Structure 1
């Protein structure tokens, strides 16, 4: 977009004034130790919350994936037991189920 020279100069002047106002406010703010510390504490609390929230989300996804895997393996074990007449141990051997997963699946059969 092309501005006429007068509008461009006016916009630059407004931006310069806005920038100067912001710099003045920042200078005053930085001189007030209590306000500065309160601000930093708020920012740290926000960052901590965001970090914790992301960790909770990641943990929830991992738990969901693990539970989904167990449910899928359980369905497969049941299908092999029903269709092939195999024992749960035979079905889990064929599916290469880990010892940890075997304990969970055996408890749910």
Structure 2
């Protein structure tokens, strides 16, 4: 398992990592778990931004070629939706690899032995 300083996770990401990671996990699974934890931390930061707790929602950019200024608005809501979807996919894959997913493949196997004869 990676050391805590290598992971550089915030509190929520660390909790998710601690909940999912095991010493016996293969490296490929540990990589998914680390990415899920980082994604959780990013989602929390985007949530803070959307609630107004962080004031970096816009940036004033100076174009030196034209001396114009441009206000760039952060698309935090769209990014949060995308990251939430990514986190769901990562967690589903982690559960599948750990064998406790209960996903569609396992459900269809239960019906595989049934015949209409």
**TM-score, normalising length: structure 2:** 0.28
More helix by share: 1
More strand by share: 2
**TM-score, normalising length: structure 1:** 0.29
Q: Indicate the structure whose relative CO is greater, using CA pairs within 8 Å and at least 6 residues apart.
A: 2
